[in-house]
A and B are shown apart, each in its own frame.
Chain A
Amino acid sequence: MDARKDLNFLVVDDFSTMRRIVKNLLHDLGYANVTEADDGNTALPLLKAGSFDFLITDWNMPGMAGLDLLKQVRADERLKKLPVLMLTAEASREQIVAAAQAGVSGYVIKPFTAAVLKEKVEKILAAQPAKAG
């Protein structure tokens, strides 16, 4: 598990308090490399330019929403296998199904607990091949 602590996370949420909370939780889990973005429009260039290993995104954001960001990621040859966890207050059955169809790796509804976030992140990472290099 320690071999994965150098993973690069990108946390996308329009509320800076939520980004800070998620960043803190990831730090507590041992993940120190966390970058923040406030919507899909700022996140996508970072994803395309950087070497992120995990994306945690809100859904409801001004500019590009989380679902559109997810679709863009899945449509990009280099990013299409990136683990994407949706962390959102959007909780209707239709929305969860839509996110699943768009290829989301996990879905956590707000408000959430530290234990739920930890469980989902670790479950998604366990299903991933080890980081190359």
Chain B
Amino acid sequence: MAMSEFARRSASYSQLLGAMSEAIARGDEAAFDAAAWILEGELDSPIRSGVRRVAGELQAALDQFGKSSRLVDLAERDVPDARERLAHVLKLTDEAAHRTLDLVEQSQPLADGLARRSEELLNQANRHCSPEGLVDFLKTTATTANDIRARLDEVLMTQGYQDITGQIIRGVMKLVVELEGALADLIQIGGLRPLAGAASAPNGAILHGPIVPGVQHIGPIAAQTEVDALLSGLGM
């Protein structure tokens, strides 16, 4: 069946091409156009009409896509908003951490001074056979002041969260900027107006950043002991 169809088409095309070739040799435009017209008709096969249909559907889909205002909202407003919100979180946590560090730095010498003065008075009280209650009070004050100092040191260390969360937020912000750029490209392809000032995708080396539970990392090491073991294995 396929062979007979092929035989028919090849015979027909061969005849038409022959006629077109002769028309060219003669300079006979009318004869050339007539043969070409028939050939075009022959070529209008089911495949050609199929391709035309798919192209039409694709155009309709693109038209529909172009009318999607949600996508424009995302690219023009929501995604840049998300970026601004994250930047604001970064600023607030930075300010709060610095304020906490201010207070810790102000309180540390107060606790140190209290501990030092209590110990000095305790030495004097012991030498002068002071009342029992006063000696106990001074001992407790010195110990408490040292405990407060130790807790202040912990508060200081805990502010390191701002660096860790800040790095994670910056990573997400970078992703949001990339998303913004991709959306702008998509909207342009879809036939909508190009976005003014749309962010472009950042480049540079990819770093893993802090470990985030539930997020895949390539071969992360969670504990300092493992870092030490690895470096020791490398002869350090």
C-alpha gap A89/B165 in the complex (Å): 11
In the complex, which range does the number of interface residues on chain B fall in?
35 or more
From A13, A24, A59, B156 is in contact (CB under 8 Å) with: A24
- Are A89 and B219 interface neighbours, CB within 8 A? no
Distance in Å: Cβ of B92 to nearest Cβ of chain A: 12
Q: Chain B binding site: helix, strand, loop or mixed by DSSP?
A: helix
Distance in Å: Cβ of A17 to nearest Cβ of chain B: 4
- Are B157 and A114 interface neighbours, CB within 8 A? yes
A65 within 8 A of B: yes
- Are B162 and A89 interface neighbours, CB within 8 A? no
- Are B207 and A90 interface neighbours, CB within 8 A? yes
From A18, A95, A110, B208 is in contact (CB under 8 Å) with: A95
B19 within 8 A of A: no
Distance in Å: Cβ of A101 to nearest Cβ of chain B: 8
From A16, A89, A109, B224 is in contact (CB under 8 Å) with: A109
C-alpha gap A111/B157 in the complex (Å): 9
From A89, A94, A95, A96, B164 is in contact (CB under 8 Å) with: A89
Chain B residues with a Cβ under 8 A of chain A: 94, 97-98, 101, 104-105, 153, 156-157, 159-164, 166-167, 205, 207-211, 217-222, 224, 227, 230-231, 234, 236
22 A-B residue pairs with Cβ-Cβ distance under 8 Å, sorted by A, are A17-B160, A18-B162, A20-B98, A21-B157, A24-B104, A24-B156, A65-B207, A89-B163, A89-B209, A91-B227, A92-B208, A92-B218, A93-B221, A96-B230, A97-B230, A106-B236, A108-B224, A108-B227, A110-B160, A111-B161, A112-B224, A113-B157
Chain A residues with a Cβ under 8 A of chain B: 13, 15-18, 20-21, 24-25, 28, 59-60, 65, 89-97, 100, 106-114, 116
